[in-house]
């Protein structure tokens, strides 16, 4: 991330850029009022260099304002006010009702495309605002083709109303997490909860030691896969993810892979604190 900050290059097109892009689209405030006084960030690292005595190290930092207002600067004005804005508007029409709880029985091709593009854009925004940005190759692919790379999987589920309105969680594994330099471990997941909708993105490098298992990230946690998919995609809105199940989704990559990697970066968890 430090290279991105120093270069001030757009994370999408690579050109100089310093406009302020909302990490989560500004239009979401119409569905979810921004009422939090501050938000917290927890970064937890698991050190398993001594397998019999794993150690968890956590750091908490606090930021003023609502998580929904958060912006980052590494997007040029041309991208921000052009094609990214168009993706936000398309998502508003299709994702907005889901956020508010109006779920259809199925999604057609247009809705799927809008939701998938929004999930990919928001994933890149989140990762590039933290210490572990999405790989440049993934960002280039999305910029050029307006679709995620083939090694991405995106799932959608309804969330219940008992947990937070806003939350995102980033789990990241890299070759630097392992002592085995002959194996590639690059993989990441992003879990985004906005109102009554949760999107879960899984990105595992094609040459990684890990495979994408739909049983782990889809059917076993009752989420509907929207990428890749063939429309229409039938939804299961009668099933809502509880807070416990939401945590299971967010920790899925770690829970599945932790035994293979000695030093694992746990999810970067960000949530708002309501005003009193």
Q: Average model confidence (pLDDT) for the chain?
A: 77
Per mean pLDDT, which range of 26-35, 95-104, 111-120, 244-253 is the poorest?
Answer: 244-253
238, 160 Cβ separation under 8 angstroms: no
Domain locations along the chain: 2-274
Quickly state the pLDDT bin for 220 (edges 50, 70, 90).
low
Share of the chain above pLDDT 90, in %: 32
| CB hemisphere CA count around 51 (13 angstroms) | 5
pLDDT at 30 > cutoff 60: yes
> Mind listing the pLDDT tens digit for each residue in 152-172?
989 999 988 765 677 777 776
> Mind listing the pLDDT tens digit for each residue in 48-86?
566 555 565 667 778 888 878 888 888 999 999 999 999
pLDDT at 270 > cutoff 50: no
> Mind listing the pLDDT tens digit for each residue in 99-134?
999 999 999 999 999 999 999 999 999 888 877 788
pLDDT at 219 > cutoff 60: no
Q: pTM to 2 decimals?
A: 0.82
Please compute Rg for the chain using Cα positions.
Answer: 18
Average pLDDT over residues 25-32: 88
Per mean pLDDT, which range of 7-21, 174-188, 232-246 is the poorest?
Answer: 174-188
Distance in angstroms between the alpha carbons of the first and the last residue of the chain: 34
CA distances from 93 to 89, 97, 100 (A): 7, 7, 12
For 76-113, b where at least 16 C-beta lie within 10 A, e where not — what string?
A: beebbeebbeebbebbbebbbbbbeeebeeebeeebbb
């Amino acid at each position: 991330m430090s290279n991105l900050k120093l270069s001030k290059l757009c994370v999408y097109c690579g050109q100089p850029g310093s406009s302020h892009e909302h990490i989560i689209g500004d239009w979401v405030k119409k569905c979810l009022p921004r009422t939090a006084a501050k938000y917290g960030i927890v970064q937890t690292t698991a050190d398993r260099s001594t397998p019999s005595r794993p150690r968890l190290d956590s750091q908490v930092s606090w930021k003023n304002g609502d998580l929904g207002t958060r912006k980052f600067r590494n997007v040029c004005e041309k991208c921000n006010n052009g094609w990214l804005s168009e993706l936000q508007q398309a998502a508003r029409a299709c994702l907005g009702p889901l956020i508010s709880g109006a779920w259809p029985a199925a999604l057609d091709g247009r809705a799927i495309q809008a939701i998938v593009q929004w999930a990919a854009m928001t994933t890149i925004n989140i990762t590039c605002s933290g210490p572990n940005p999405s790989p440049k190759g993934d960002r280039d692919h999305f910029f050029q083709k307006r679709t995620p790379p083939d090694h991405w999987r995106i799932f959608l589920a309804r969330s219940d109303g008992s947990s937070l309105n806003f939350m995102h969680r980033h789990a990241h594994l890299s070759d630097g997490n392992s002592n085995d330099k002959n194996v590639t471990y690059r993989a990441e997941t992003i879990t985004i909860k906005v109102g009554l909708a949760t999107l879960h993105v899984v990105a595992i490098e094609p040459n990684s030691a890990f495979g994408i298992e739909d049983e782990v990230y889809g059917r076993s946690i009752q989420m509907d896969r929207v990428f890749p998919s063939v429309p229409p995609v039938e939804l299961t809105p009668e099933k809502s993810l509880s807070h416990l199940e939401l945590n299971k989704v967010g920790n899925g990559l770690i829970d599945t892979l932790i035994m293979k990697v000695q030093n694992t970066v746990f999810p970067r968890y960000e949530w708002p604190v309501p005003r009193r």
